[in-house]
Each structure stands twice: as C-alpha cells, then as structure tokens.
Amino acid sequence: MDVGNQIRERRQALGLSQEELAQRLYVSRVTVSHGETNKTLPDVQSMLLLANLFGTTIDEMVRGDVDEMREMVEKDEQQRKAFAIALGAVEVTVIGVLAFMAVAGRDYLDSALRLLLAVLVLASAVVALVARRGGEGREAKSAAELLGAASGDPVEAAQESASANVM
C-alpha cells in the first residue's frame, strides 16, 4: 500500500516528527508509525485530518490503493462467512447432542458422551470468541471506510460493493 509512504513523505516535507504529527491527529506516535509502515490503515477521521493538514484530498492519498483495500474488505467478508458457518455447525452439533441427552435421559449416559458434550460446548465457545474478535476486522473496517470516503459512498455501500465482487 502506498498510504503509509504518502503519510511519511508528506510529514517529512512539512518537517514534522512522528510525535508532532500524532499530536495533531490526536493519536499516539505508535499509531503514526504503524500507519507509515502500513501495519494499519488510518481511520476516516485521521485521514480527513491528514488530508487537511497536507493540503490534499483523501482520494489523492489513497489513489492506487483502492484495489488492495477492496481485496482486504473482500477477504474480511469471506472470513466472517467461514466463521459463521463454523459457528453454525458447532451449534447444530451441540443442539443435537443436547436433544439426544434429553431423549436418552441422564441416568443412561456414559462418561464418554458427557465428555463429548463438554468438548462441543467448549468448541462452540472458542469459535464464538474467534468469530467476534476477528483480528483483521478493524483493518478491513478502516479500508471500507476509506473506500467509501474515496468514492463518496457510505461505508455500507463500499462493503456491499466488495461483497458483490466476492460472489
């Protein structure tokens, strides 16, 4: 991505340190550093402040990165769908085992079946946590916001556009 290079070059052209830029954007120096090294994307508010500070537009700053951002949003959408399917499968299995337990009765269940139920409940909890945390979700959200700002569309339209490309 070129956004980080744009930020670094324009910051240096103004003679600002990362710390000074961070103060003007109301973020930490580490956030500026991560943005310049393309570890993260700035959110829309920060991009607006950057564009204003640098005397440019968001469109000029993200030009050339739009396709990469679109891919990031698409990848995030695919991951969400995969997690939803996995979570659904685990939940159906847990419900099936619970239904079997209700029919068979507790007294007749052996310890192996109880252990299976415990494992399924634990797996359901783990899948739910992973699905909710989604490490790249924030980055994809920033990419969707920037796509929306660059194209003049709301974030939802950018996400729908990327989702349409997935299918």
pLDDT for the residue 6: 83
> Domain spans of the chain?
3-62, 66-166
For residue 164, pLDDT over 90 is answered with no
Residue 115: enclosing H or E segment and its boundaries?
A: helix 111-133
Supply the CATH classification number for the domain 3-62. 1.10.260.40
pLDDT in tens, 29-59: 999 999 898 888 888 888 889 989 999 888 7
pTM: 0.45
Residue 126's alpha-carbon distances to 36, 86, 112, 138, 151, in angstroms, are 34, 11, 21, 20, 37
CA distance 71 to 93: 33
Q: Cα 121 from chain centroid?
A: 26
pLDDT for the residue 112: 65
Q: Are 41 and 32 in contact (CB under 8 A)?
A: no
Q: Which residues contact 163 (CB under 8 A, 6 or more apart)?
A: 74, 77
Within 10 angstroms of residue 12's Cβ, the number of other Cβ atoms is 13
Residue 18's alpha-carbon distances to 27, 31, 53, 146, in angstroms, are 10, 9, 14, 22
For residue 142, pLDDT over 70 is answered with no
pLDDT in tens, 94-140: 777 767 766 666 665 666 666 777 777 777 777 777 766 654 455 55
pLDDT in tens, 64-76: 566 666 777 788 7
